[in-house]
Structure 1
């Protein structure tokens, strides 16, 4: 399957600009993790939900840009995120700040996240959920009462919170465990309205909310947001 899968709702020619990370009245933010340098396109990985006392026998996290695994286009890069927390829930997420919007201004937005997964429904059903959102407030992991906590309302593993715009299962429909499915999420063709902060900024986050006690490894392949000034 080709890397750059664009669903029809995001191919509304003439309605959106196509400049990567360009900012004007019609804005497209397109991250495919192929750029030079670290190749992360401004995205940073963080983790939340685990106890401050967790040790290496209970907790394992890691993130990096890496070539996509066998079954996908192995000449292309994705953002690889690994997590394991045997004692409870862990939220593994990427975040990115985008500037240059008009301050305190509403924008109509469509959001797409391409996530590579290899986990069957039997392995992860009701245990891992994909979540993504856009907020005027920076997504952060903060220490609260002994637990590293996500500061936005992401909800429970099974239910999305108020800060979540996209949510869905990460289960693969393929019969084997190779990463040969590219899962594409969108807001079903219905744009949502987001309002920038007083600095003309928006923060993106995309991740997996997991009660699965073993190690999971996902690849974020592409993240696209398209904005239209209202």
Structure 2
């Protein structure tokens, strides 16, 4: 079952809030703090026509957090003119047992400027921007128009991805001028299972599948992958 909170849930979050240094030996193996580094997580976009990409205003990369927050975040932004833009980050995970069945869930903390219960073109800027995570045996990337992994469409799961929430943050205005930190944690309505490659690798991605026909801006702050036996 999914669990959504506006309070940090990840290991090390209290350290982030107090500004202390993180002792990485005490954190889970697949915990990533984007305050200083992307940790080889790569941004990507799909479900848009690449021959007319300029109108989508796609941006990504490590950036200073907006006013009121310290440190950096892994920034993604895009104008959803196709009514189906998928913005995501991806990473190849190594060191798994070869050809072994695993179960995957995630916790992610990010900054969003989408308030709750706001009106928008095509859908709400918060509740209609669905947060998903998934896996792929090969690198996830746009193939033609769509992602080369079955992520599903907007609020729907895919065979390789699950919906775990949205980007709406209660307590901020609908004008998009302010950001709030939100944490989403879980594994979706049904467990997401995968079989590792013969070399003990798998690709993992997490991103937003948008039904809101406007600009979405997110700063990913922390991410924890929970990979366990089936």
Question: Normalising by structure 2, what TM-score?
Answer: 0.76
2:10 aligned residue: 6
Structure 2 residue ranges without an equivalent (≥5)? 1-5, 12-23
Q: State which drifts further: 42-51 or 167-176.
A: 167-176
Correspondence 1:1-230 to 2 at 5 A:
5-6=9-10, 19=25, 28-35=29-36, 39-56=37-54, 58-71=55-68, 74-120=69-115, 121-123=117-119, 124=124, 127-143=128-144, 148-176=145-173, 177=176, 178-187=178-187, 193-229=193-229
Return the alpha-carbon distance in structure 1 between the equivalents of residues 77 and 108 of structure 2: 18
Give the match's secondary structure for 1:28: coil
Return the alpha-carbon distance in structure 1 between the equivalents of residues 201 and 57 of structure 2: 32
8 Å contact from structure 1 (residues 31, 223) kept in 2: yes
Displacement of 1:183 in angstroms is 2.7
Return the alpha-carbon distance in structure 2 between the equivalents of residues 83 and 198 of structure 1: 36
8 Å contact from structure 2 (residues 65, 72) kept in 1: yes
Change (3 A) 1:129 1:4: closer
Displacement of 1:5 in angstroms is 3.2
8 Å contact from structure 1 (residues 118, 172) kept in 2: yes
Return the alpha-carbon distance in structure 2 between the equivalents of residues 104 and 98 of structure 1: 14
Return the alpha-carbon distance in structure 2 between the equivalents of residues 80 and 169 of structure 1: 17
Give the match's secondary structure for 2:57: strand
Question: Normalising by structure 1, what TM-score?
Answer: 0.76
- Residues 133-158 of structure 1, C-alpha deviations (whole Å, 9 max, x = no match): 23333212112xxxx21011111112
- The number of residues matched between the two structures is 205
Displacement of 1:192 in angstroms is 5.1
RMSD: 2.9
8 Å contact from structure 1 (residues 108, 193) kept in 2: yes
Q: State which drifts further: 175-184 or 88-97.
A: 175-184
Displacement of 1:61 in angstroms is 0.3
- Residues 180-216 of structure 1, C-alpha deviations (whole Å, 9 max, x = no match): 2323222279975432111210111011111322221
- Residues 67-118 of structure 1, C-alpha deviations (whole Å, 9 max, x = no match): 22234xx222211101113243210110000112121012344421112212
8 Å contact from structure 2 (residues 65, 73) kept in 1: yes
